[in-house]
Amino acid sequence: MVTVSTSKSAIRAYHHGDLRSALIEVGLNALEGTDAEAISLRELARIVGVSATAVYRHFPDKRALQMALAGAGIARLGEAQRIASEAAGGGPAGFAATGRAYVRFALAHPALFRLAFSHGGFAGGPGLGNDDASRLLRAYATEFAGAEAERLTLQAWAVAHGLAMLMLDGLLPADDATIDAVIDPKTLFTGSS
């Protein structure tokens, strides 16, 4: 509901109008079923019903389209986390909920999640960005760790991201029990501070 509307507006605009949006919509759709590497510009163009090279009127190259898709992925991830955080009512429970939401989003949309983070996919320089997800994480870290907020931020992100990746790559069982065992504030982060 943020950027992509599957509804009328986009569909009406196919033949001449909003090819750019159509490509992103179709691309996001394709990412629900296939890995990013396996998606060709030509195939997306075919689906939209346009010639292969028309894509280049809206994106300089394939990577640019992927970056646009990555941006949409980050937005959706942030929204999923915000919803989870609110549902848990904030506080420590909310913090853990955002972590679990991060991992569950990755499992629900593997290709999109991978694309969003692969190779500087969405962020410019290092550090957290201005997306919803980053702001939410920072807020929680500051709330709980005060002076050690920086460290907590990094550790929390690393745990969630690592768990998500290991599950996506088939190295850890992708079930709720494992998620809950790892994303557990009772046994994580309870050091000094």
Partner DNA sequence: TCTTAATGTTGATGGCGTAAACATAGCCAG
Partner DNA sequence: CTGGCTATGTTTACGCCATCAACATTAAGA
Name the residues that contact DNA, by CB under 7 A: 16-17, 19, 40-43, 50-54, 56-58, 61-63
Indicate the residue among 58 and 151 with the shorter CB distance to DNA. Answer: 58
Looking only at residues 78 through 117 of this chain, which bind a copy of itself when binding is defined by CB under 8 A? 117
Of 11 and 52, nearer to DNA (C-beta) is: 52
Q: From DNA, a copy of itself, none, which one binds at residue 63 (CB under 5 to 8 Å depending on kind)? A: DNA
43, 79, 143, 184: which one binds a copy of itself (CB under 8 A): 184
Measuring CA to CA, which residue among 99, 64, 73 is closest to residue 181? 99
Site for a copy of itself in 17-36 (CB under 8 A): 35
Which segment (25-33, 44-52, 90-98, 145-153) binds a copy of itself by CB under 8 A?
145-153
Looking at residue 34, the DSSP 8-state letter turns out to be: S
**Size of the chain in residues:** 193
Residue with tokens 């504030």: 185
List Cα–Cα distances, 58 to 1, 15, 24, 40, in angstroms. 22, 14, 11, 15
Q: Rounded to whole angstroms, what are the CA distances from 185 to 49, 98, 148, 156, 182?
A: 50, 12, 15, 10, 9
Gap between the terminal Cα atoms of the chain: 40
Closest approach, Cβ 117 to a copy of itself, in A, equals 5
Q: Which is nearer to DNA, 52 or 181 (CB)?
A: 52
Binding segment toward a copy of itself, per CB under 8 A, in 9-17, 24-32, 52-60, 121-129: 121-129
109: Cα separation from own chain's centroid: 8
Number of residues that bind a copy of itself (CB under 8 A): 45
Per DSSP, the three-state class of 59 is coil
Contacts of 34 (CB under 8 A, 6+ apart): 111
Q: What residue ranges bind a copy of itself (CB under 8 A)?
A: 35, 37, 117-121, 123, 125-127, 148, 150-152, 154-155, 157-166, 169-174, 178, 181-182, 184, 186-193
